[in-house]
Amino acid sequence: MSMAVVGMIAGMALGFAGYFGGFGAFLLVAALGAVGFVAGRLLEGDMDLGDLFRGRDDRRR
């Protein structure tokens, strides 16, 4: 599945949450989507947990 299709599905989910549940539901779906994205990247090995807590200067070294 291409990233465009994944983005479209995520946008549609946020749109439905915003339309049917209001702004609070929109924020909840967006926050849980971000948590799921980070968890998926961690499980795939594409991201290290230290990447989230290091500053910009530490990444260059």
Number of domains in the chain: 1
Structure tokens at 48: 């290290």
Average pLDDT rounded to a whole number, residues 4-23: 87
CA dist 2 → 6, 8, 10 (Å):
6, 10, 13
User: Which pTM value belongs to this model?
Assistant: 0.66
Of 37, 54, 56, 34, the residue nearest 46 (C-alpha):
37
Structure tokens at 22: 């209001």
Going by pLDDT thresholds of 50, 70 and 90, the confidence category of residue 61 is low
Predicted local confidence at residue 48, as pLDDT: 78
Rounded CA separation 30/24 (Å)? 10
List the domain range (segments joined by +) for residue 49: 3-60
Question: What is the rounded average pLDDT for all residues in the chain?
Answer: 81
Residue 24 has pLDDT above 80, yes or no: yes
Whether the CB-CB separation of 38 and 47 falls below 8 Å is answered with: yes
Going by pLDDT thresholds of 50, 70 and 90, the confidence category of residue 57 is low
